[in-house]
Structure 1
Amino acid sequence: MRAVVQRVNSASVKVDNELIGDIDKGILLFLGVEAEDKDSDFDYIFKKVTNLRIFDDEDGVMNKSLQDVDGSILVISQFTLYGDARKGNRPSYIRAAKFEDGKDYYERFIKECKNLGINTSHGSYGADMKVELINDGPVTILLDSSKII
């Protein structure tokens, strides 16, 4: 599982010109699911995202998590995180999870965020989405469950 975590002042997502999700201060998360992902991959990414200390404390040091600052999260499905362009110029997405498998993990991520009490918005799985954001920092962190040491 891969995740691109961006600290934002605000972010929103539209489908067919209709606003379907928006947040203020928090995390914009692009979430990609690999065909070989298991629950352990989900658990790793979920815990990292929700506990990642990328928000400033009183001294201006990135020492607080999303939950510490009562921030929000906007979760966007992003199968293209598994695009492989090493051969030729057209990326291959063969490593991305099949639609239903990816959707299950995506919906589970949203549900688990809500269960933690995090203000959670999301896109529409598999839809053509237009995402707008105002980066804060910018702070962008890449996470990959296959790179656990």
Structure 2
Amino acid sequence: MRVSNATARKISNLVRPLGLAATSDTVITSGYDLPLLALTNQATRELSVAIRIRVSADSTRRWTEAHTYSIRDLIDYARHLHRPAHVVISGSLKEGTPVKVVDAKSALTEAITTVTATKLAEADDTEQRRWEDESRDLLNN
């Protein structure tokens, strides 16, 4: 799966004030199905792989279980390429939308913590135990 060039340009416009540039990542190893971006730090020229996740960039993000799997796959892919991994967080692609770029491991920890809190408040015991096992695997991967 590729991020379209138009989407990559919109993301690049959002992250440019942070000193970053984004393009769609055209070199994708088979076996990975992620909407990947190549993210370049304009000051250091460091290249990393990234994905964009549609959640609010403010402090109250609504992470989902699906987000945790996407971030885990990104970390795995970046490890395969020996590159850093980042998550671009924005609610939309419109100009002026708040955006954050965070290290993928930090994003994964935050997402797991949020999903765990939701599961504890809303899920039955079986689902809570399943998620505890799953989140432990996600963090240890």
Q: Same fold (TM over 0.5)?
A: no
Question: If each structure's helix is expressed as a fraction of its own residues, which one has the higher value?
Answer: 2
Query: Which TM-score band (shorter chain)?
Result: 0.3 to 0.5
TM-score, normalised to structure 1, is: 0.31
Question: If each structure's strand is expressed as a fraction of its own residues, which one has the higher value?
Answer: 1
